[in-house]
Structure formats: C-alpha cells, structure tokens
Amino acid sequence: MEAHEPLLDSPRQSTEHHRHAEQIEHMEPLAVGDQRLQRRIGWVTGAAVNISYMIGSGIFVGPSFTMKLVGSGLMNVFIWFLGGVLSMAGAWTFAELGTMLPRSGGEVGYLEYIYRRPKYLLAFLFTMWSLSNRASGVSSQGTVFGSYMNYAFFGSDYKSDWMERGWSVACATILTLVNILSSKASLRVMTCLTVVKLTILGLVLFVGVLSAMGFLPGDADMGSALSFQGTATSIAPYASAIYYVQSSYSGWQNLNYIMDEVKDPIKSLPKALAASLLSTTVLYVLTNIAYLVVLGQGVMETNMIVAAAFFTKSLGENFASTVLPIFIGLSSFGSGAAMNFSAGRLIMEASRAGLFPFGRTFGHVDPRVQSPVNAYLLQYALTILYTLIMPRGAVYQFYIAFTGYPHYAFYFMTVIGVLVLRKREPHNARPVTAPYACIAAFLCFTVYALLFVYIPVDSPHYPYWAPYVTAIFYMVACSGLWYYLIIVKDTPGKSYNTEIRKRGQVALDEEVFGEVDTLVDEDHERRIP
C-alpha cells in the first residue's frame, strides 16, 4: 500500500482536478498500490470480450423460433436486424455513461452516481440481483455446453441430466482456475473462443454463398424464402420474437464492468462497443439469410436446431452430428467464460464500495496472481450450488425468468439517469453523447420488456406472471438487507474505497481524466485561428 498521496503540484494538474471535481467526488476511487489491476485490455480485446458474451447458442437455435412467430423469411431477417439496432441504441447510452464515469462495475457505479438518495439503494439492489443472475447464467451456459457435448460424443438419443450437470461443473471449475491464476490467460481464452464463434458463423456464410451459386445442395426457392410472403399480421408474435432476439444480443455492455483494466478507456470503450455490435449484427443478419438460402422457410420452422439442419443439407450428416455440436457447445462455453470473468470483477468492485458483506475479503486482490481470488471463489460456489441443486423443468424455467426480469428495470433506471445527469450536471465532460433518438428507442424497449411479460399466456405449471412478481418481491426483501448493511452498519463508511478515497481520486484524475483534458485542449487549440 502506498504511504504518500500524490500531490497536485502544477497549475495544469490543479486545473484538471477542478474541471472534474464534482464527477470525481461522487465516483468510487481507483484502487491503489498492489490492489490495482493492470490495464491490459485494448479495444480489440474489449470487443472480443463483448462478442464472446453475446454469441452463444442463440443464433444456432433461435431463428427457428422467431421464424414461426413472424411468418416470413424476410421479416425474420428484419427482426434480427432490429435487435441489433435496439442493442446499439442501448450501447450508445452506455458509452456516454462509461466515458463520463470511466470506472469498473457498470450499472453499480452508474446507479450509485445518479441516484444518491436513498444512499446506495439502487446500486445495492443491482449487486444483489447480479450475484444470482451471473451465477445462474454461468451454470446454464455450462449445462448447454454439456448437452451439446453429449450429443457429439454419445449421439442424439443420449439423455442424461446429471451428465450435463457434470459438464457444467467442469466448465465452472476450469473458468474459475483460469481466472484466479492468470487474467492474461482468461483474456486469451475468451479471444480464442471468440475466434471459434466467428469461424463457425463465417462457415455458415461461406456455405450459404456456395449454395446460392449452385456449388452446394440447397432446396430453397430463394424468391419465396427471401420475401414477406406469409408475414404475421398480429402484433403479439412480434413482441415475443423481439424479446427472444434481444436475449441473443445480451452482453453488449460486458466491457463496462471491467473499465479499470482497459487501456485508454475513454477512447477504447466506444470503439469496442461499436465493433462488437456491428460485427455481431451483420453476422446474425447474414446467418439468417444463409439459413433461408439453403433450407427455405418451411424447413427452418420445423427444425429446432436450425444450424444442424443447415449443415446436414450442405455438408452431410457426419459434420452436423459430430463437429457442429462441439462448435455450438464451445460458443456456450465462451459466453460462460465472458460472464464469469466480469462477474468476479463486479463482486470485487461492489465489495470495495461496501455494498457486500465481508467486503474486505471479497474485494481483495491477491498481488501474487493479480486476481480477486476470493470473489471468484464466491462466484464458483454459487455457480456450483445452482448447478447441483436447481431442479430442471418448470422450476428451472421459473428461475431463469425470475433472474432475468429485473435487468430491464435496471436498464430503464440507468438510461433515465442519462437524462437526469444532462439536466443536473450539464458541464461534465461527455466524450460520447448519445442521440436522444437512441435514448428514446432503448427506453421504449425496456418499458415494453417490463410490461410485455404480463400479457396472459398458457402456463401449465405456474401462473404466467409468478416469476416476475416474485422478482419484484425479492427486490423489496433485498431492500431490508440494504437498510441493515448500508444504513445501520454503515458498511460503505468502513470500506476499502473510503480508506483510499483521496489517493484513489487523484489517481482517477491523473490516469483517466487527464487524457480527456489533453484531448479537449488539443481540440481547442486546433479551433483557434
């Protein structure tokens, strides 16, 4: 731990400090000394971190579901394109917050900064929700990985719930060990898995082109397949389709959770967000077109794993039944890897701010391996608990809906916060400013996502609204824990961040905001005739 605080010993440093004084005062400080994590993530690696989270098994399965809902090939392509546009609108707003408040933690830091009364309430609730959501997410991605490994090694008829759980435990164990032992290795694993995902989608596009040219088999009538013929005329199917497509884009803000490890974060975050979402959107749209070119609308609708039908038709049964499941499984493994990596960092940041019990323990970085070891062990324990204890079937579906629902409420409050800050703090540095059209579009989607689930549907196991109402009551219950920890016990006042606040604020000013001031001053000089 450093013994002395850096001094603002030059007019330049003093000017920069006062320029960002209000922002820095209400932000959590950077860690200091051997508790600082290295900035080793460039914008290309950052884009890979986001892509690794986004591209899972959804694009290999989802187009069949959405095709049934919207009714026509071209409308299905448009729905997947619209999902990318909505995600880009959200990413633009998060780029504004991420460059204005360039600290790790994502919504934890944004909600804390925006909504200062009641003290830490929304940041605390997001932390409690994220803890269960990330652990269950890594568990479910591991289970999907296991189901595809079983398919590849033992055949389509082999079914074993406990074998899938065993694969999931193995995934969680490997990811935890890698994250604990080497952050550099973790980033390399995610980058390699991203390359695997891009390779298989690239193969889909290549096969689609060859099929369209007549070099590979394809039964589709492209004229009817790529048309609006049969498009659904009711609004309800589109609501369901958009909801599903958006889940295949989830994770676009993953880099916002690890900003302290990003090189030149002000410049890198917008580049990484744009590169990851543009590439993913283009790949999703072109992949849907390739499916239609080879299979046509009818075959797409009747095959749950549309990628398997695609490769069976074009490259043969052996590739579709052995090689493809491994690729899809690795895609899910990659999503789990990206989710797990940022989850440990999120636990660390929340603990350092005093938003989590035993914050000194879970917020500690082991200087020997440069990793928050205890945070990852907690994440691992919760993941294993969900994997081994959670029943499958209706209970599992209930829990997935229960854990997913609150995120849209936090999205809503975060994006509203952009408007709050523009009015309350208009003079703050905003290297990125989201257009109002993007803010409005993403707000509309979050409101829709919060309300759409209450449209009555048949549910044989429990009332359709039960997971979402339960999630609301869970948040209310967590408010009681917030009151005890934050108000009664004052855990933020005894936290690591409070201890190093002055030194950490100066480090934040010099390391991050100093670059913003340099860019502003250079731009000002260029404008002077």
pLDDT for 439 beyond 60: yes
To 5 degrees, how large is the angle CA 508–CA 368–CA 496? 40
Lowest mean pLDDT among 2-16, 109-123, 194-208: 2-16
Side chain identity at residue 512, one-letter code: V
Return the beta strands (E) in 387-518 as ranges. none
pLDDT of residue 159: 82
| Percent of the chain whose pLDDT exceeds 70 | 93
| pLDDT over threshold 90, residue 487 | yes
What pLDDT does residue 308 have? 85
Q: Which of 264, 315, 276, 317 is nearest to 152 (CA)?
A: 317
Q: What is the pLDDT of residue 129?
A: 93
The pLDDT of residue 515 is 55
Which amino acid type is present at position 36? R
Q: Cα separation of 374 and 362, whole Å?
A: 5
Average pLDDT for residues 220-234, to the nearest whole number? 80
- Please choose, from the candidates 117, 431, 347, 69, the residue with its C-alpha nearest in 3D space to the C-alpha of residue 232: 69
Arithmetic mean of pLDDT over the chain: 88
What average pLDDT does the segment 73-80 reach? 94
pLDDT at 220: 59
Predicted local distance difference test score (pLDDT) of residue 19: 59
Dist CA 44 CA 269 (whole Å): 10
Query: CB–CB of 56/335 below 8 Å?
Result: yes
- pLDDT given for residue 17 in this prediction: 46
Looking at residue 110, what is its pLDDT? 96
**What is the reported pLDDT for 322?**
86
DSSP state of 38: P
Which pLDDT score is estimated for 2?
A: 40
**Residue 339 CB neighbour total at 10 angstroms:** 25
Handedness of CA 444, 421, 47, 106 (dihedral sign): negative
Asked whether residue 245 carries a pLDDT value surpassing 50, the answer given is yes
pLDDT confidence tier of residue 391, bands split at 50, 70 and 90: confident
DSSP letter string over 140-171? HHHHHHHHHHHHHHH-TT---HHHHHHHHHHH
Which carries the bigger pLDDT value, residue 222 or residue 406?
Answer: 406
**Could you tell me the two tokens for 190?**
């995610």
Residue-wise pLDDT tens digits, 246-292? 889 999 999 999 999 999 999 999 999 999 999 999 999 999 999 99
3-state secondary structure of 259: helix
Q: Most confidently modeled of 22-31, 154-163, 455-464?
A: 22-31
pLDDT at 397: 77
pLDDT confidence of residue 219: 60
376, 385, 401 from 381: Cα distances, Å: 9, 6, 22
So what's the pLDDT on residue 513?
Answer: 82
Residues for the chain: how many in total? 529
Average pLDDT on 394-411 reads 85
Q: How confident is the model at residue 218 (pLDDT cuts 50, 70, 90)?
A: low
Q: Identify the weakest region by mean pLDDT among 17-21, 67-71, 135-139, 221-225.
A: 17-21
Question: Mean pLDDT across the stretch 150-174?
Answer: 90
Give the range among 25-39, 152-166, 185-199, 339-353 with minimum mean pLDDT: 152-166
Contact between residue 497 and residue 428 where contact means Cβ atoms under 8 Å apart: no
Segment 211-224 mean pLDDT: 74
Distance from the Cα of residue 28 to its chain's centroid: 22
Is the confidence at residue 529, as pLDDT, over 50?
no
Tell whether the model's pLDDT for residue 115 goes beyond 80. Answer: yes
Question: For residue 222, what pLDDT band results from cuts at 50, 70 and 90?
Answer: confident
Distance between CA atoms of 9 and 11, rounded to whole angstroms?
7
What's the pLDDT tens digit per position in 319-365?
A: 888 888 999 999 999 999 999 999 999 999 999 999 988 999 999 99
One-letter amino acid for residue 260 of the chain = D
Q: If pLDDT is split at 50, 70 and 90, which confidence band does 427 have?
A: confident
Mean pLDDT along residues 33-52: 94
**Residue 6's pLDDT band (cuts 50, 70, 90):** very low
**What average pLDDT does this structure show over 462-471?**
90
Q: What is the pLDDT of residue 10?
A: 44
